[in-house]
């Protein structure tokens, strides 16, 4: 067969555009509609065939390493580049039949938990659909207590061998047996329940204990609770991934919790006691006299349980002082008298150095 590059009149380092340009130029000269000469028609076929190979990156690469580029490998024996790799890296050696009994795959399921369950832990019952061992054939895949018979084609080896010609000479290659799909045996009487696979799909209930302190992304491994393998092989593992749901008014930060509480201006100035809801029930929080907006009160040990270690985080109570937007005449008069008693002149301000907004300010603003 003539060299394809020579057929198109280009070098081996020719670009796609060079190849395309050369083909168009030759095609205009040898096309049957332009030149009805039978010899020219054959030349046109050669040019077209060369272009089909060299314009396709995969076919061109195959041709450059010694293949014919037309998808049938080297020569007429069906020998391709992959066969050379097999010959050099073990493909020509006998690998033996594939086992029918194989380990099952791992499975992943996501479970949603609320903040309280994430803090204190809980137990769940998971209903999952998975592959279980076929009870009718006990996982063998064979009906009526029969057994797989040895494949007549590969004689139990699971593969067939053939001699192919290549640029390296004759090479022995191995391929999985088409008759038995590489198992070396054939199930003549497959189980009617599992169709010879040794397993069926079914739903089952699996208990799982979710430890205290988990958060979104944590995974719990349940060994042997995944899918049963083909041929009744051992089951894989089941991984339970935690998805923590957002709480109505509590915000989690690692093991600490944050809550925003708004109190009236007078209560902040005089001091008071407020009652808040926590994961441990209602708790009283003392607001000291003169508390400023943005202040924080820490309640020790009322946060999330530490997943690794002991104890719990804290509950951080962020105070927001509310200013009344509307006052009646009596309230205005009283407030003016209060300002006069403190010698607070109207329009008098104190300039403070600005600071970047911190995390807790952002948390507080999120609750507004």
Distance CA 198, CA 224 (A): 17
| Same domain (yes/no): 127, 176 | yes
| Same domain (yes/no): 26, 153 | no
- Residue 89 covered by a domain: no
pLDDT at 347 exceeding the cut of 80? no
| Same domain (yes/no): 155, 220 | yes
Distance CA 194, CA 137 (A): 8
The CATH number assigned to the domain holding 316 equals 2.60.260.20
Contacts of 218-227 with CB under 8 Å at 24 or more apart are: 218/242, 218/307, 225/107, 226/104, 226/105, 226/106, 226/107, 226/130, 227/104, 227/105, 227/106, 227/107, 227/130, 227/131, 227/199
Distance CA 111, CA 216 (A): 10
| Beta-bridge partner residues of 278 | 281
Q: What is the pLDDT of residue 75?
A: 37
Average pLDDT over residues 101-124: 94
Q: Cβ(201)–Cβ(137) under 8 Å? A: no
Question: Which is higher by pLDDT, 258 or 38?
Answer: 258
| Same domain (yes/no): 55, 117 | no
The CATH number assigned to the domain holding 172 equals 2.10.230.10
- Residue 113 covered by a domain: yes
Is 122 annotated as contributing to ligand binding?
Answer: no
Average pLDDT over residues 96-110: 90
Domain boundary among 244, 264, 284: 244
Distance CA 61, CA 277 (A): 71
| Same domain (yes/no): 58, 129 | no
75-95 per-position pLDDT tens digit: 333 334 444 444 444 444 446
| Same domain (yes/no): 237, 222 | yes
- Residue 326 covered by a domain: yes
pLDDT interval class at 14 (50, 70, 90): confident
Q: What is the pLDDT of residue 353?
A: 56
Q: What is the pLDDT of residue 342?
A: 79
Is 154 annotated as contributing to ligand binding?
Answer: yes
Is 137 annotated as contributing to ligand binding?
Answer: yes
| Same domain (yes/no): 167, 265 | no
| Same domain (yes/no): 65, 182 | no
| Same domain (yes/no): 26, 114 | no
Is 194 annotated as contributing to ligand binding?
Answer: yes
Give the CA diameter of the chain.
117
- Residue 87 covered by a domain: no
Domain boundary among 195, 214, 244: 244
- Residue 90 covered by a domain: no
Burial of 12 (0-12, 13-18, 19+ CB in 10 A): exposed
Which pTM value belongs to this model?
Answer: 0.61
Average pLDDT over residues 23-38: 72
Total domain count, the chain: 3
The residue among 256, 259, 296 whose CA lies nearest residue 277 is 259
- Residue 193 covered by a domain: yes
182-214 per-position pLDDT tens digit: 999 999 999 999 999 999 999 999 999 999 999
DSSP assignment string, 321-336: EE--S---HHHHHHHH
Distance CA 28, CA 199 (A): 63
- Residue 356 covered by a domain: yes
- Residue 65 covered by a domain: yes
Outline where 166-276 has alpha helix (H): 265-270
| Same domain (yes/no): 258, 213 | no
The CATH number assigned to the domain holding 29 equals 1.10.287.110
Q: Cβ(69)–Cβ(53) under 8 Å? A: yes
Which residue segment(s) compose the domain that 221 sits in?
A: 107-244
pLDDT interval class at 178 (50, 70, 90): confident
Is 142 annotated as contributing to ligand binding?
Answer: no
Domain boundary among 211, 244, 277: 244
pLDDT interval class at 165 (50, 70, 90): low
Q: What angle (nearest 5°) sits at the alpha carbon of residue 156, between those of residues 153 and 162?
A: 50
270-321 per-position pLDDT tens digit: 999 999 999 999 999 999 999 999 999 999 999 999 998 889 999 999 999 9
243-259 per-position pLDDT tens digit: 999 999 999 999 999 99
Distance CA 220, CA 238 (A): 8
| Same domain (yes/no): 176, 286 | no
| Same domain (yes/no): 353, 306 | yes
- Give the percent of the chain with pLDDT over 90: 49
């Amino acid at each position: 067969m003539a060299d394809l590059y020579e057929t198109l009149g280009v070098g081996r380092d020719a670009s796609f555009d060079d190849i395309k340009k050369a083909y168009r130029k030759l095609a205009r000269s040898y096309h049957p509609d332009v030149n009805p000469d039978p010899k020219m028609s054959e030349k046109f076929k050669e040019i077209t065939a060369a272009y089909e190979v060299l314009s396709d990156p995969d076919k061109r690469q195959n041709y450059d390493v010694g293949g014919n580029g037309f998808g049938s490998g080297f020569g007429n024996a069906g020998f391709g580049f992959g066969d050379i790799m097999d010959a050099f890296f073990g493909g020509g050696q006998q690998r033996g039949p594939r086992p029918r009994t194989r380990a099952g795959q791992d499975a992943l399921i996501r479970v949603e938990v609320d903040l309280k369950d994430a803090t204190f832990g809980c137990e769940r019952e998971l209903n999952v659909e998975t592959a279980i061992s076929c009870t009718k054939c006990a996982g063998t895949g064979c009906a009526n207590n029969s057994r797989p018979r040895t494949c007549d084609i590969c004689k139990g080896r699971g593969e067939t061998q053939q001699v192919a010609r290549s640029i390296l000479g004759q090479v022995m290659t191995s391929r999985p047996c088409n008759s038995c799909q590489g198992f070396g045996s054939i199930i003549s009487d497959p189980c009617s329940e599992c169709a010879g696979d040794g397993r069926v799909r079914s739903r089952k209930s699996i208990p799982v204990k979710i430890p205290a302190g988990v958060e979104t992304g944590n995974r719990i491994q349940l060994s042997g609770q995944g899918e049963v393998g083909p041929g009744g092989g051992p089951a894989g593992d089941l991984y339970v991934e935690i998805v923590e749901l957002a709480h109505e008014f509590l915000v989690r930060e690692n093991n600490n919790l944050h809550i925003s509480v708004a109190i009236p201006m007078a209560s902040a100035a005089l001091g008071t006691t407020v009652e808040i809801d926590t994961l441990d029930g209602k708790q009283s929080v003392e607001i000291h006299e003169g508390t400023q907006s943005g202040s924080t009160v820490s309640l020790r040990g009322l946060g999330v349980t530490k997943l690794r270690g002991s104890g719990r985080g804290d509950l951080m109570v962020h105070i927001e002082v509310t200013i009344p937007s509307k006052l009646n005449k009596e309230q205005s008069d009283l407030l003016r008298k209060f300002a006069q008693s403190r010698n607070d002149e109207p329009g008098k301000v104190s300039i403070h150095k600005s600071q970047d907004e911190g995390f807790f300010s952002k948390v507080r603003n999120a609750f507004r």
